[in-house]
């Protein structure tokens, strides 16, 4: 691992959902090359393990006794379980300069079979009242960038809960804006990172955006094929889409699509880490050469990942999750529709 920002930590409680998510990653990691589960590795964040907080600074301010040393004491019971342990995963947005990110909740069933009856009823109602039941997807929030603006435009998850099936193309257009078209206005106001500023106009040039959409459509079709061969039930899982919103970086990514592959030497060149009093990873040191390499890291033009597996189960004999497959097909159709619209904006060959 070249640098800390390649990782992110996710807090969890020592409960059944946590054990299910750990089991998911361990099953995928242990799958042989001829096992259909092994094909999921391409689509999930790299699992780097679990971190457990074993000690904390005696002085929460980190003040030493004058000799340059700080005292570490055992963790006391007042620290909540979710603050003691972290699931450590690859940060799939690492390397993007202006990451445009969309989280799409997959599936038509939103409750675990072990959920209490009242929660099952609540989730059935939620699926019926949103786009989940009919389409297998729900937009759960996203951010996009303007090329000349440093802060993202944020659309909250309340937007995805408020729209109907017929409005999904509008949501996709909002997440994949083109620089030559006006930015659509959602029913609810868009949250911005700063107040009292003029609204930037996000969007990639048509030719780059068309490349993004073409790549994502192919990835979604491949992902659907992979999941159709896996017997599992995925409740609460999402597909996470990330693409580069910076024009220069996006153009560079198109010209060097294979520049992000990690070599065996990269994987072996790990840095030591430690855990702070809040259970977070901190680097003991960052060599100068690592900093230089981090600055040179080029993310792909776009990426597609499956995330959130706390309620995912592998069950022999049940076949694939049809609700999840329905959602992925919906995304394929939405991306293709958006791609066709952008294609009409491209200059003709003649």
Q: Do residues 180 and 347 lie in contact, with contact meaning Cβ atoms separated by under 8 Å?
A: no
Average pLDDT of 63-71? Answer: 61
Q: Output the CA torsion 115→119→122→127 (10° steps).
A: -20
Distances (CA, A) of 322 to 48, 229, 234: 30, 11, 10
Between CA 269 and CA 287 the distance in angstroms is 11
pTM of the model: 0.78
d(CA 21, CA 13): 11
Model confidence pLDDT, tens digit, residues 128-148: 999 999 999 999 999 999 988
Structure tokens at 165: 């099936």
* pLDDT tens track for 212-229: 999 999 999 999 999 999
Share of the chain above pLDDT 70, in %: 69
Who's near 347: CB < 8 A, 6+ residues apart?
Answer: none
Range with lowest mean pLDDT among 2-6, 21-25, 76-80, 85-89? 2-6
Segment 283-334, tens digit of pLDDT: 444 444 444 444 456 789 999 999 999 999 999 999 999 999 999 999 999 9
């Amino acid at each position: 691992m070249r640098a800390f920002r390649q990782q992110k930590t996710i807090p969890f409680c020592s409960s059944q959902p946590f054990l299910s998510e750990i089991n998911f990653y361990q099953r995928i990691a242990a799958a042989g090359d001829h096992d259909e589960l092994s094909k999921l590795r391409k689509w999930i964040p790299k699992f780097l393990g679990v971190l457990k907080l074993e000690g904390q600074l005696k002085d929460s301010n980190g003040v030493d006794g004058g000799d340059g040393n700080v005292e570490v004491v055992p963790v006391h019971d007042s620290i909540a379980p979710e603050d003691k342990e972290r699931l450590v995963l690859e940060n799939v947005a690492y390397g993007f300069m202006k990451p445009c990110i969309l989280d799409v909740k997959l599936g038509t069933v939103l409750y675990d079979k072990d959920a209490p009856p009242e929660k099952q009823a609540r989730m059935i109602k939620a699926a019926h009242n949103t786009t989940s039941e009919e389409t297998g997807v729900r937009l759960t929030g996203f951010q996009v960038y303007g090329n000349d603006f440093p802060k993202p435009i944020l659309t909250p998850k309340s937007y995805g809960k408020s729209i109907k099936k017929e409005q999904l193309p509008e949501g996709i257009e909002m997440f994949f804006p083109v620089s030559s078209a006006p930015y659509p206005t959602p029913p609810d106001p868009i949250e911005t990172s700063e107040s009292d500023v003029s609204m930037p106009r996000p969007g990639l040039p048509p030719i780059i955006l068309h490349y993004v959409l073409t790549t994502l459509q192919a990835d979604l079709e491949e992902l659907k094929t992979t999941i159709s061969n896996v017997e599992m039930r995925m409740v609460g899982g999402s597909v996470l889409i990330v693409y580069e919103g910076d024009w220069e970086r996006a153009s560079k990514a198109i010209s060097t699509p294979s520049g992000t592959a990690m070599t065996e030497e990269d994987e072996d060149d790990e840095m030591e880490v430690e855990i702070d009093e809040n259970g977070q990873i901190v680097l003991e040191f960052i060599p100068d050469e690592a900093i230089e390499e981090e600055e040179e890291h080029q993310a792909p033009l776009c990426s597609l990942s499956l995330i959130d597996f706390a309620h995912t189960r592998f069950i022999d004999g049940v076949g694939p999750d049809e609700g999840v497959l329905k959602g992925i097909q919906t995304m394929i159709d939405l991306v293709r529709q958006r791609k066709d619209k952008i294609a009409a904006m491209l200059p003709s060959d003649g």
